[in-house]
């Protein structure tokens, strides 16, 4: 019994010691593992840091190389800009030199033209002194439709002239002719002498007509730059103005799209406006300027237009109709007053720009340098001002290249109360020809 107790007692001392020794060994093994783990983590971090550093160094090197390349590009761009600036200066110098040359040539052309006119006057005086009568001017046409140039028309006081032309002209019943020049509308008397201007508020008139309403004549004008049409007294006082296009949703996206080139009016006051330099639409308004309807639009088909440059109300038949100069389609179209298409009168025109009627005679002015005359049934009679065929044409033809009686670029046209013809040319030197009918 005692022996057993001693063994139990001894075991009670030995077990803790053994357990304690075992635990100390386990703790030592665990510490080594942790150290090894930490060491592994450090090695991994060092490796990762080295890789990152290498990657960053590579990116830095690449960035520095790219920066050098960009710097070179910037330097090249600076050089190119400097060269372009030098070239631009040289171009400006060349442009200035050319402008100066053009100014000199223009002055010379004007001097030549003045000299030619002076020579013509001297020759006329010489002819009269010798009993030879007036110096004959050029003629154009054939058969019963021969027209002769009226020289020295119009006559201006010192300091006045036509200037560059891109407009129209119209005549009243008293024989006065209204000419749209660059900065105003000039009024020329029945004797061919300049009378007055209508003021700079009517600068930029492109198309116009003189029409009688309630016993009084009015001037109807279209101004594409000002985006409006207007009815004026013959002294230039405005009576009615229609500003901008019709207020119809979706018709015009911007006011810049609207550029009216001509206007005409019926005996009851209905107004027709052609948006020739805009959307090639024809707008109809009542006599008070209230919008009614629209027809036309761009295109080559019948009833469509490509620059409906001029509109003319034709009253030669029992029912009035509309004549519309379809410039870039090179044709003259006939429409009913409601806008419905009737027929094409002439599809072989050279950019028709203007038209007018005297009695049964219709005349159409063409930008291609010609006037075409038609009878009451719109049958072609004759072409005027088209010889010689190889003459210079267009806006830039200088006076020394003009051929007496031959047209270069008809932009505006009218008959006067006596049936004389007036062709206003699109010409920066200013050219307007008056023809009178030669009775056979």
pLDDT, tens digit, 9 for 90 and up, residues 390-417? 999 999 999 999 999 999 999 999 999 9
At residue 99, the pLDDT reads 61
At residue 100, the pLDDT reads 65
* CA atoms in the 13 A half-sphere facing the CB of 11: 6
Task: List, in order, residues 6 or more apart from 147 with CB less than 8 Å away.
Answer: 139, 140, 141, 384, 421, 435, 436, 437, 438
* Superfamily per CATH, domain 137-437: TolB, C-terminal domain (2.120.10.30)
Per-position DSSP letters for 261-286, written without gaps between them: -EEEE-TT--EEEE-TTTT-EEEEE-
At residue 101, the pLDDT reads 66
In 3D, which of 346, 349, 376 has the Cα closest to residue 361? Answer: 376
Backbone angles phi and psi of 25, in degrees to 5: -70, -40
Q: Mean pLDDT by 10-residue block, N- to C-terminus, for the chain (440 residues)? A: 39 40 48 71 74 76 72 75 71 68 57 56 54 70 96 95 96 98 96 97 97 97 98 98 97 97 97 98 98 98 98 98 98 98 98 98 98 98 96 95 97 98 97 94
Per-position DSSP letters for 355-405, written without gaps between them: EEEETTEEEEEETTTEEEEE-TT--EEEEES--STTS--STT--GGG--TT
Gap between the Cα atoms of 181 and 192, Å rounded: 16
Chain centre to alpha carbon of residue 162: 23
At residue 406, the pLDDT reads 97
CB 246 within 8 A of CB 232: no
- Token digits of residue 143: 């058969």
Chain centre to alpha carbon of residue 236: 27
Place of tokens 């019709």: 246
At residue 122, the pLDDT reads 60
CB 162 within 8 A of CB 430: yes
At residue 102, the pLDDT reads 57
Gap between the Cα atoms of 308 and 292, Å rounded: 19
Full-model pTM = 0.72
Residue 383, beta-bridge partner list: 372
Domain locations along the chain: 137-437
Task: List, in order, residues 6 or more apart from 241 with CB less than 8 Å away.
Answer: 228, 229, 230, 231, 289
């Amino acid at each position: 019994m005692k022996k057993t107790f001693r063994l139990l007692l001894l075991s009670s001392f030995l077990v803790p010691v053994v357990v304690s020794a075992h635990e100390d060994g386990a703790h030592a093994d665990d510490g080594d593992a942790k150290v090894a783990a930490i060491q592994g983590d450090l090695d991994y971090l060092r490796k990762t840091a080295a890789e990152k550093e290498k990657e960053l160094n590579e990116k830095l090197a690449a960035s520095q190389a790219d920066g050098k390349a960009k710097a070179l590009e910037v330097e090249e761009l600076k050089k190119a800009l400097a060269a372009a600036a030098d070239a631009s200066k040289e171009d400006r110098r060349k442009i200035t030199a050319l402008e100066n040359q053009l100014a000199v040539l223009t002055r010379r052309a004007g001097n030549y033209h003045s000299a030619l006119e002076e020579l013509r006057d001297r020759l006329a005086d010489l002819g009269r002194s010798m009993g030879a009568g007036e110096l004959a001017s050029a003629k154009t046409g054939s058969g019963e439709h021969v027209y002769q140039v009226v020289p020295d028309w119009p006559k201006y006081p010192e300091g006045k002239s036509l200037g560059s032309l891109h407009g129209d002209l119209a005549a009243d019943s008293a024989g006065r002719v209204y000419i749209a020049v660059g900065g105003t509308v000039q009024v020329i008397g029945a004797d061919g002498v300049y009378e007055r201007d209508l003021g700079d508020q009517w600068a930029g008139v492109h198309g116009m007509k003189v029409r009688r309403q309630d016993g009084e004549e009015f001037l109807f004008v279209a101004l594409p730059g000002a985006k409006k049409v207007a009815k004026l007294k013959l002294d230039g006082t405005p009576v009615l103005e229609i500003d901008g296009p019709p207020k119809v949703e979706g018709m015009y996206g911007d006011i810049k799209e609207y550029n009216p080139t001509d206007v005409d009016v019926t005996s009851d006051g209905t107004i027709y406006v052609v948006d020739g330099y805009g959307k090639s639409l024809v707008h109809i308004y009542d006599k008070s300027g209230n919008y009614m309807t629209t027809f036309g639009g761009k295109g080559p088909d019948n009833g469509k237009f490509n620059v409906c440059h001029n509109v003319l109300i034709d009253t030669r038949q029992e029912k009035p109709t509309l004549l519309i100069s379809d410039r870039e389609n090179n044709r003259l179209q006939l429409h009913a007053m409601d806008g419905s298409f009737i027929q094409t009168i002439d599809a072989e025109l050279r950019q028709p720009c203007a038209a007018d009627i005297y009695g049964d005679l219709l005349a159409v002015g063409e930008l291609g340098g010609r006037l075409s005359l038609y009878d009451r049934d719109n049958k072609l009679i004759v072409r005027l001002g088209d010889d010689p065929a190889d003459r210079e044409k267009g806006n830039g033809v200088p006076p020394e290249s003009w051929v007496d009686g031959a047209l270069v670029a008809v932009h505006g046209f009218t008959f006067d109360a006596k049936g004389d013809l007036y062709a206003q040319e699109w010409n920066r030197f200013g050219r307007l020809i008056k023809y009178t009918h030669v009775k056979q």
